[in-house]
Amino acid sequence: MAPTMFHRFHGRERCDECGARQWYAEDTLRYCRNGHRLEGFAEHVEDEDAFSTRGKVSRRQREPRSNRDHPAVKLTGDDARELYLEALQFVLMKLVRGLLERGSFPADYEAIVRALWTLRVRDLPLREVDDSTRGAEAARRRRSRSASSAASFSSELGADDGSVFSDTTTASWAPDARRRWKLPRLIDALALCYLGGLVMRLPITTADFCNWVQRGELDYLAVINSIPHNVRQRLPAEYHRALQVRDHIPLGHLQAAVQGLVIAFKIGADVVFPPLNYVPILVRFITELTLPAEIYSTAKCIAAILKTDYSYPTRKGIRKMSNPEVLLISLVVVSAKLLYSLDGVERPPRNHHDPRVVKVDWAKWQEAMRDDVGKTASGLPRGEEYKVTSEDVLTMEAEKLDDFMDWFEKMWISDRDPKTAEGIRELFETPKRPPDPADLNESPQQDNGSDIERAKRRFEVLNNSMVMVEPVPDDDQDGRGGNERSRVLGLCPVWRSQEDLPGAARELYERAASLVAIKLDTLIRMSVHIERQLELWCMERARQQRGKGKGKATRTGENEDSDNSGGHSDLLSED
């Protein structure tokens, strides 16, 4: 007798009497394992002619499940790193496209940034293979990586020619195989855009990029929301954090990233970047700070004494103050400090050729600099919305609060991936305000026009406040006491901290630091460093003149310390 074949119930079915989960068939009837008959079941014996014939089978269409219900598998290892590089390249493409749309960048700017990106990623250690195929695979990847990255970058930007960088073009820039770079960061994409402008000698600064980012003119702060959703799903958490930014770029962060890339390009690819196109940048600094034109010639004179060429250092172990932009703005501040008294002490000029014959009323200058034209219609400064605190929101006016919420929604709320359910979201949605016609008609040309008008008004106030000072020669003083008094009055104070700065000087230093997006302490330290270098130069010059037995350094018969005390005055009064 053949053994009984038991079957399992489907799903959660079981015997109603004993709860057994198995059954068997006998004489076209179905019984549970314990012999209880199961109602509603009878086998059907098909005819042999109907063997393997079926009617029309219809299946209920299941509702397709969204990809959001089942998150994609996170990539790891080399696959995750390569996907991160593709996402970062997408961010770089958006930055370049935004800069080209501004109209102030030439058409070949894209090719320069693409070449820098190719050099940055061409020798990254990605795929690891076994020893048998490691050599051939690595060589093949090195040959194809630069071409593939350049080609994809060009195609994404919509280049017409679709040209790529050949091996012959980049062979001379091939980095040492023993040196391996780390993966680029998000700030490196913005730094590469700046270096592209530096290669083309464009009069732009790192502060310009920071301002464009803060105002939302460049998609950077919330750029992770612009990355395709399927890419974000497959990126691990550490790469999500690498692509996220806070509500602003910290002061000096972009400058440090640029300096790091300059050193890395020099060490890894033997690439040296040109110096700053400092002339238009220097003029812009003086114009933005509303300072007299004599600052320009004085700053160039001090730069010649320091023997600087406004180039980025290319060696490790340098100080942060070696940044050429920090040096340039410090020269402007030191020149204003030497030419025009910032501490309120009267320092009369020695002759009519002394640039100090013109006196600046710093109180009038402070009033002119507090012009509100650069603010929005509601009074909320553009690019400084991140400074609004919770206490400010409680006391903020309605229009200012609307402007802040519009900025917050534009920068941080992603329509691609809402954080709350649509039903809950709709409860809190309010009709958006109609756009301001001034914002719709806003263009870079109109911005330049408003800046020019504002600069004209400020310089009118400055010129009306400037007065001529009658020179007081040293020969008019009686005896050595008069000369000593004149020399002491000619000394400039040294401000080593924020607490040492007087009212007008503090405002000048703060505006100068914000103009280049650096900390105030950094500007103070750099200014003190320049003043120390000038002091050493004056000491050496006085020593040389004393050795020749002529010059102003020997006319009083004083020691070296006395000559050093009046060094800055000699610098201003002599050619």
Cβ pair 131, 225 in contact under 8 A:
no
What pLDDT score does 84 carry? Answer: 94
Please report, as a single letter, which amino acid is at residue 385.
E
What pLDDT score does 487 carry? Answer: 52
The span from the CA of 244 to the CA of 221, in Å, is 7
Q: At 571, list the tokens.
A: 């610098």
Chain centroid to Cα 264, Å, comes to 18
Tell me how far CA of residue 241 lies from CA of 92, 186, 219, 224, 228, in angstroms.
Answer: 17, 10, 17, 10, 16
* pTM of the complete model: 0.72
Adjacent-strand bridge partners of 30? 25
Backbone φ, ψ for residue 511 (5° rounding): -70, -35
What pLDDT score does 530 carry? Answer: 93
The span from the CA of 397 to the CA of 269, in Å, is 54
Beta-strand relationship, 22-26 and 7-8: antiparallel
Q: Determine how many CB atoms are found less than 10 A away from the CB of residue 329.
A: 27
What pLDDT score does 176 carry? Answer: 44
Please report, as a single letter, which amino acid is at residue 188.
D
Cβ pair 153, 53 in contact under 8 A:
no
Backbone φ, ψ for residue 407 (5° rounding): -65, -40
The span from the CA of 513 to the CA of 330, in Å, is 9
Q: At 157, list the tokens.
A: 């930007």
The span from the CA of 423 to the CA of 418, in Å, is 11
Nearest Cα to 574, choosing from 283, 358, 354, 399? 354
**Angle, in degrees to the nearest 10, between helices 253-269 and 186-199:** 70
Nearest Cα to 285, choosing from 514, 532, 571? 514
Q: What is the pLDDT along the chain (575 residues), one digit of tens a residue?
A: 567 888 888 777 888 788 888 888 887 788 888 888 887 654 444 444 444 445 555 555 554 554 444 556 888 888 899 999 999 999 999 999 999 998 889 989 999 999 999 999 887 765 544 444 444 444 444 444 444 444 444 434 333 333 333 332 333 333 444 445 688 999 999 999 999 999 999 999 999 999 999 888 898 988 888 898 889 889 999 998 999 887 789 999 999 999 999 998 998 888 999 999 999 999 999 999 999 999 999 999 999 998 988 999 887 665 656 789 999 999 999 999 999 888 878 777 877 777 778 889 999 999 888 865 444 445 677 767 777 877 777 778 777 777 778 777 776 665 554 554 444 445 445 555 555 544 444 455 555 667 788 888 899 988 888 888 888 776 544 444 445 545 545 577 889 999 989 889 999 999 999 999 999 999 999 999 999 999 999 889 888 888 876 544 433 333 434 333 344 555 555 44
What pLDDT score does 70 carry? Answer: 54
What pLDDT score does 565 carry? Answer: 39
Scanning 310-397, the segments in alpha helix (DSSP H) are 324-339, 362-369, 390-395
Tell me how far CA of residue 218 lies from CA of 377, 494, 517, in angstroms.
Answer: 22, 40, 17
Domain ranges of the chain: 1-45, 77-274, 297-372+452-541
The span from the CA of 226 to the CA of 87, in Å, is 10
Residue matched to tokens 């198995």: 22
Adjacent-strand bridge partners of 37? 31
